[in-house]
Structure 1
Amino acid sequence: MNKQQQLIELLKSYQSVAVAFSGGVDSSVLAKATQIALGDKAIAITAVSELITTNEISDAKKVAKLIGIKHELFTVDDLADKKFTCNDKMRCYHCHINRFKLLEDFCQKNNYNYLLEGSNEDDKGDYRPGMLALKEFKLTKSPFLELHITKDEIRQMAKDWNLPVWNKPSSACLASRLIYGLDVTPERLNQVAKAENILHKFLQGQIRVRHHGDLARIEVETNEVPKLFTNPLRDLIHKEFQKLGFKFITVDLIGYQKGSNNITLK
């Protein structure tokens, strides 16, 4: 059997599941596979939070409808946990503990045997304290990890199943944009979301605005970097970012780096 067939057979063995669903390529492939394997015995559940943009929630709804899987939203108050908002190096751990407790409670109340999440083989190479939290939950399964499925293999499955997210850039919650030690607040999350929306109007590919307090550090694909130094775009970005409250606007010359804030931990 190929990886796709192995995945579907594994999911069949779970009998009934809920999928932690963001609408990204990983969770979309997982949701599609569970829909194929289990039909109406599978449901996708999406957290609504200040850490997630309204565009991402809208996209998740559209993808779930396309897949044909049942879909529910639930609201999470991530910012109520001071262990999370203090934004230390274990921020993702605290977030996952809070969220997956709620998700497993949902499974138990609605008679789903397991909760599935989309960590994949490539995630093992990055600093991910959130993955440590998953080990503390009895009902949570990570099928991609169990079958050693990589990101490229997931994208190929998405392409095979005609999912429009097959080439969607990876994303992370808005809190990941804040440098460690900078408290997570609604105002800072809003700054980042609005700043990235501005850049998305003019640039392609991966885009991050890293929040260093008064300073914004822009990360884009390396081939897009020169555009940031060309007027009128340069002056427009400077003006609009200052309106958002940033005093200094900088460009990271290396370009986009996955989890670049983790460099400060080394």
Structure 2
Amino acid sequence: MSKWVCLLDYISNFSNTVVLLSGGTDSSFLTYACTKAKTNVIAVTFSSMLVSKEEVDAASKVARAFGVPHHIIDSDDLNVTEIRQNHPRRCYFCRRHRDELVKSWLKNLEPEKFVVMDGVTASDVGEYRPGLEAAEEDGVLHPLKEVGLEKWEIRRLAQEFGLPFWDKPSSPCLATRFPYLTTLDEDEIARIAEAESCLMSMGLSNVRVRSYHSGVAVVEVAPDDMEKAWALKDNIKNALFSVGFSVVALDLDGHKSGKMDLLMGGVRHDSV
């Protein structure tokens, strides 16, 4: 059987599912698959200082498009000490915190009848993902991983099915813009979110604005966008000055995932 058929077969074993819908390609594709498997599916999205408004809006749009009930849960992530301190295992503590929020929310819905699923893929195995460790401890299922679907296969299938998010760039949590062990500050996070939104409005893709030091912005764009970014350097500078940065630099290496982990000695986290 094809992996797509295997995925539908896997999901159909469960009558009631909760999908943790981030708004990214993988969790959006899983939500779509749940509707095709005829399971009763509810989508849950976390709203947090560490998640851009655009991502929450994207998740809502996906749920509406598929006719799936959608619940947004406020997650006070920065009240968790390890998250606030940007601990190297921040993702583990964040995932445990959010899984507890879902369990608490499910108490109103006969929780024993529901399984919780996320968009973890086969490509995620073997990477530095402490959040995955926490999810497994909490009993969250990973259908895409279980049937062996890798990220490129999910994008290909999504494109074949005419799903508009097939080529959506990844957008990891905003804590990844700061070095580990840097105390996260609400104003600094909001500044990063606004800066990235400005740059994306200029037509730049896969944008990251890293803050290695307060007031200093290091802009990363996709390698294919480097020439465009250089041509827009004055616009970029002015936009980032306007949101509160005093120094703006362009990373000549372009966007490469895992930069903050490399600073910690080469540990790889492929989604930052």
Q: How does 1:28-107 map to 2 (within 5 A)?
A: 28-39=28-39, 41-107=40-106
In the alignment, what sits opposite 1:149? 149
Q: CA deviation at 1:177?
A: 1.2
Once the two structures are superposed, what CA deviation does each residue of 1:181-212 show, in whole Å capped at 9, x if it has no partner?
Answer: 22112111111111111211223321111111
Question: Equivalent residue for 2:186?
Answer: 186
Instruction: Give 4+ residue runs of structure 1 displaced > 6 Å after superposition.
Output: none
**2:143 counterpart letter in structure 1:** P
Contact 1:17 1:115 in 2 (8 A): yes
CA RMSD of superposed structures (Å) = 1.6
Aligned to 2:8: 8
Give 1:165 deviation, angstroms: 0.3
Alignment of 1:151-190 (within 5 A): 151-190=151-190
Residue 122 in structure 1 maps to residue 123 in structure 2? yes
1:133 Cα deviation after fit = 1.0
* Secondary structure of the corresponding residue to residue 18 of structure 2: strand
- Answer whether contact 1:127 1:262 (CA < 8 A) is retained: no
Separation in 1, partners of 2:38, 2:211 = 42
SS in 2 for 1:211: strand
* Count of aligned pairs: 262
Q: Does 1:201 align with 2:209?
A: no
Amino acid in structure 2 at the alignment position of 1:216: A
SS for the counterpart of 2:37 is helix
Q: Deviations over 1:208-229 (max 9, x none)?
A: 1111123211110112112333
One-letter amino acid of the structure 2 residue matched with residue 220 of structure 1: V
Alignment correspondent of 2:253: 254
- Provide TM-score, normalisation by structure 1: 0.92
Q: Please say which of residues 140-149 and 121-130 is displaced more in the overlay.
A: 121-130
- Given the alignment of the two structures, is residue 228 of structure 1 paired with residue 201 of structure 2, yes or no? no
**Which residue in the other structure is 2:270 paired with?**
none
Could you tell me how far apart the structure 2 residues matched to 1:173 and 1:223 are? 23
Q: Which runs of 5+ in 2 are unaligned?
A: 266-272
List per-residue Cα deviations over 1:1-29 (Å, max 9, x = no partner): 11111001100112211000012110111
Unmatched 5+ stretches in structure 1:
none
TM-fit CA distance, 1:125: 4.2
Deviations 1:100-140 (A, max 9, x none): 111133335413421001111111243211111112113x1
Query: Which one-letter code corresponds to 2:174 in the other structure?
Result: L
Aligned-residue identity in percent: 32
Q: Normalising by structure 2, what TM-score?
A: 0.91
2-structure distance, mates of 1:227, 1:260: 22
Q: Secondary structure at the match of 2:63?
A: helix
The 2-side partners of 1:255 and 1:247 are apart by 21
- Aligned-partner SS, 2:44: strand
Describe the SS at the equivalent of 1:105. Answer: helix
Q: Secondary structure at the match of 1:175?
A: helix
Residue 217 of structure 2 aligns with which residue? 216
Deviation at 1:37, TM superposition (A): 1.4
3-state SS of paired residue (1:223): helix
Deviations 1:161-188 (A, max 9, x none): 3221011111111111112122112111
Determine the C-alpha separation between the residues in 2 that align with 1:219 and 1:48: 25
**Counterparts of 2:78 and 2:24, CA distance in 1:** 23
> Hey, what's the Cα distance between the residues in 1 that align with 2:152 and 2:251?
27
